[in-house]
A and B are shown apart, each in its own frame.
Chain A
Amino acid sequence: MSKWRLKFSKLGMGKYISHLDLLRTFTRSIHRAEIPVRYSQGFNPHQLITFSLPLALGVTSETEFVDIDFEDTVSPDEILTRLNKNLPPDIKILKVSQPIFKAHDIVSAKYIIDIIAPRVILKEKIESFFEQENISATKKTKKGEKEINLRDFIKEVKVVSLEGNAFRLDALLSAGGEANIKPDIVVAKLQEYLNSSEFESVDIHRVEIFFENDKKIESFC
């Protein structure tokens, strides 16, 4: 068994590292760390690296997962320490373990969304947005744009009023191959619904990823 699942965080300005750039960052960090890694066969061999659930640009996270095929000779502890020494500061490996569950079974992800609005907004008003039957939105897909009912992608939301104009959303959103939604669409639609001028700040942070196992929802690891 040489495939390892690395749990990592992507914080700070690291949220602006795109998915493709992140892949390149891992490739080069592995080179620097001199951890023997397996390459794909074929004309243009590349390291075997697969991210479980790509993270939207501009979102921080404390639970990202990447599967990497290392050669048998390295221990998980070694992978963790050597890679952390060679990753840029905003990306940190938290745990290395054997992959048990499949990324394919991921169904949802939990986000904390901190918003500062230009004025005080009542909690009830925000909640009423999420109570709508239908929230029509446009989703960008590979094939172009698609009209969707955003409500179908929002599994759970808790609204918390904070000090001043700030409020927080604890949101569980659809994620994975079946149905996936970027959290910023929810924020944009909410802003539109509230008839608010541009939010002063929006910070989105992914805290957990869930998958379906025997019809039960469990935390992905």
Chain B
Amino acid sequence: MNVYERKFEQVLKKVQKPARYIGNEFNSVHKENFEKFVKFAFCFPDVYEVGMSHLGMKILYHMMNERIDTVCERVFAPWVDMEEELRKADIPLLSLESHMPVSSFDIVGFTLQYEMSYSNILNMLDLANIPLKSKDRGENMPFVCAGGPCAYNGEPLADIVDFFILGEGEEVNNEIIDAFKEWKESGENRISYLERISRIEGVYVPSFYDVKYKDDGTIESVKPNRTGVPEKIKKRIVKELDNGYILDKMIVPFMDIVHDRITLEIFRGCIRGCRFCQAGYLYRPVREHSTDKLIETAQKLIDNTGYEEMSLSSLSTSDFTCLQELVDRLLEITVDKRINLSLPSLRVDNFSMELMEKVQTVKKSGLTFAPEAGTQRLRDVINKNVLEEDLLRTAGIAFGGGYNRIKLYFMIGLPTETMEDVEGIADLAEKVIDVFYQIPKEIRKGRSVTVTVSTSSFVPKPFTPFQWEPQNRIEDLVAKQKFLKERIKTRSISYNWHQSHVSFLEAVFAKGDRRLGNVLVEAQRLGCRFDGWDEHFDYEKWLDAFKKCGVDPEFYAYRKIDHSETLPWDHIDIGVSKQFLVKEHDKAYEEKTTPSCREKCSGCGATSFGGGVCFE
């Protein structure tokens, strides 16, 4: 028991949901003799029940702990009540397993899943008594690293993070641990470790690059400031998923978490290329697990967790090549054990409905579809290949099969959008309602139908064909929301929308550069945290932080960027060429679609990885 553990235990009496902080769940790894290992603190900058639902953390946690020389422990953002108690009792941020101070670890790694968690990263560092800025950390301090989707443009965190890991972590995490051991033995100084790992593909040390700006605030150049570091940093992938690390166990939490089930990852990447979708480009090329391997893994996960539900995970379940066979074989091993199988992200087609029927043995709840845009024209612009007739036909099958609730997801503020497109959302929802009433009363279930329309606001993201696009101004988004609300006349349709202020900040930090680092530091000081949670998001504080730092957020979100401009993330190579993105951007304005990777290769550049769908 360390010095804080006793105090910590007493503090837990005063907070909500203490199970968030206790650790010791089944399959969690607790190693004795903490000091003798390379110590990696895996930090998720959100509360336990959100972080524990994240598959990447589960993979890297077990992978690192299988090393005999390494201990990986989890750290989550303490909820506001817990933060208050920790500060009051003068307890620093502790890891979940051995309740050791985060500052006593060698490497403190954050996963960047969404921009609105950045304030939590700074707050967690502050709670851990680790200096917020990389340059202020002394020789004996841990290294702070970050990975995950937002790390591809981690520039707003460039002053805070010592190094980024780009791409899938299975190989590169092992390499940075190996390098750590060698460096530790060498007795060299802190900077020498960063120099060593900057030679590992996929590692980006931002302090080794200088950014020069033009008078108009745009970037003049990003250049290495020493020899031996690459001009461009290329992301890492696992070429053959079946040969990579296979996650066959998962921590089983005590408390209810957001995704409290087995997650079976079936493939990475997406063949579709929707032009707004960052994940669709970041994770290229598509690589699948074999069905045999998946069945073997699924069986182990069932045996090792005791979960009563299993969900397939990928960006688009329907695109798995042997989905029918996989589902049939999974049902063989799940049905007898009363394990429910769920298939999220299915495409709108007959085949998907048949599959749904097959797996939905218990209750028929709602169905969710994501047409993303209200008119065919706009769907062509964004390359979302969903036809209205497909959607309506599928809705008809669903209603006939006993469903009476459908959710439809859309985006507003997409490039080229007109009010006609916004109105199209209401029209489409009404057509879905009509489909319900066309079905004979004897067949459909219930007397009425509910269609829920949700709109999120389009956020232009790096590494997408829309990276050069300005975001709609907050007032325009609000006007579109209001317009849509007025167009929806029937009470069978309910309408929800996202807060536009959050989407604005998301755009700022998604496309931001290093000058935002000071804003983050100031925002943390002003008390910003849990910005992804409505009840804690404080827009005024953020505006205050921008003002104090003399940074104009609109520069990042609202500016139409020229194709020739140097972008803050141009020195990062995700394998998809800028030239391809330019071509896709132009095609969007021509309202031309691009076929999926399996129909025809469009030459995005991801073949350079030498694997996956490019070589099927």
Contacts and interface: CB of A to CB of B under 8 A. Distances in A.
Interface in B306-358: 306-308, 337-338
B19 A29 contact: no
A96 to B, nearest CB: 19
A21 B304 CA distance: 18
B10 A201 contact: yes
Contacts of A29: 26, 306
A201 B337 CA distance: 45
Contact of B305 (A17, A24, A28): A28
A32 B306 contact: yes
B255 A28 contact: no
Nearest to A22: B254
Interface in B8-25: 9-10, 12-13, 18-19, 21-25
A155 to B, nearest CB: 25
B231 interface: no
Interface residues of B, number: 27
B19 A30 contact: no
B445 to A, nearest CB: 16
Contacts of B308: 27-28, 31
Contacts of A18: 19, 254-255
Interface stretch (A72-80, A81-89, A123-131, A174-182): A81-89
Interface in A95-153: none
B12 A16 contact: yes
A28 B252 contact: yes
Contact of A17 (B19, B306, B337): B19
B7 to A, nearest CB: 9
B303 interface: yes
A13 B255 contact: no
A13 B24 CA distance: 8
Contacts of A58: 12-13, 18
Contacts of A30: 306
Given A13-B22, A21-B19, A87-B26, A32 B255 contact: no
Given A21-B19, A28-B306, A30-B306, A12 B13 contact: no
Contacts of B303: 32, 34
Contact of B24 (A31, A57, A89, A200): A89
Contacts of B306: 27-32, 86
A90 interface: yes
Nearest to B7: A201
Interface residues of A, number: 30
A54 interface: no
Given A32-B303, A32-B304, A88 B10 contact: no
Nearest to A204: B13
Contact of A88 (B18, B26, B256): B26
A30 B254 CA distance: 14
Contacts of B19: 16-18, 21
Interface string B1-41: 00000100110110000110111111000100000000000
Given A16-B18, A32-B303, A202-B10, A24 B254 contact: yes
Contacts of B22: 13-14, 16-17
Contacts of A25: 26, 252, 254
Given A21-B255, A28-B306, A58-B18, A13 B337 contact: no
B5 to A, nearest CB: 9
B26 A86 contact: yes
Contacts of A34: 303
B173 to A, nearest CB: 27
Contacts, number: 71
Nearest to A44: B362
A13 B23 contact: yes
A29 to B, nearest CB: 6
A22 B308 CA distance: 16
Nearest to B13: A58
Contacts of A87: 26
Interface in A25-76: 25, 27-32, 34, 39, 44-45, 57-58
Interface in A188-214: 200-202
A12 B337 CA distance: 32
Please indicate which of the listed interface residues A18, A31, A89 has the most CB atoms of chain B within 10 Å of its own CB: A31
Contacts of A13: 9, 22-24
A30 B26 CA distance: 13
Nearest to B21: A16
Interface string B72-91: 00000000000000000000
Nearest to B30: A89
A88 B26 CA distance: 5
Please indicate which of the listed interface residues B13, B30, B337 has the most CB atoms of chain A within 10 Å of its own CB: B13
Interface string A6-24: 0000001110111001101
B28 to A, nearest CB: 8
A45 to B, nearest CB: 8
Interface string B231-255: 0000000000000000000001011
A102 to B, nearest CB: 29
B210 to A, nearest CB: 48
Contacts of B252: 25, 28
A86 B27 CA distance: 9
Nearest to B6: A201
A12 B26 contact: no
B302 to A, nearest CB: 8
Given A31-B337, A202-B10, A14 B24 contact: yes
A21 B254 contact: yes
B23 to A, nearest CB: 7
Contacts of B30: 89
Contacts of A24: 254, 256
Contacts of B256: 21, 24
Please indicate which of the listed interface residues A13, A21, A57 has the most CB atoms of chain B within 10 Å of its own CB: A13
A28 B12 CA distance: 25
B18 A28 contact: no
Contacts of A90: 24
Nearest to B304: A32
Nearest to A88: B26
Nearest to B302: A31
A37 to B, nearest CB: 10
Contact of B254 (A17, A31, A200): A17
Contact of A32 (B6, B13, B305): B305
B24 A28 contact: no
Contacts of B23: 13
25 contacts: A13-B9, A13-B22, A16-B12, A16-B19, A17-B19, A17-B254, A18-B254, A18-B255, A21-B19, A21-B254, A21-B255, A24-B254, A28-B252, A28-B306, A29-B26, A31-B308, A32-B304, A32-B306, A57-B18, A58-B12, A88-B24, A88-B26, A90-B24, A201-B10, A202-B13
List the 10 shortest-distance A-B pairs measured between CB atoms, nearest first: A31-B306, A28-B306, A32-B306, A16-B18, A13-B22, A21-B254, A88-B26, A17-B254, A201-B10, A16-B22
Given A14-B22, A32-B26, A202-B10, 14 more contacts: A14-B24, A16-B19, A18-B255, A21-B19, A25-B252, A28-B305, A29-B306, A31-B308, A32-B303, A34-B303, A39-B338, A87-B26, A89-B24, A201-B6
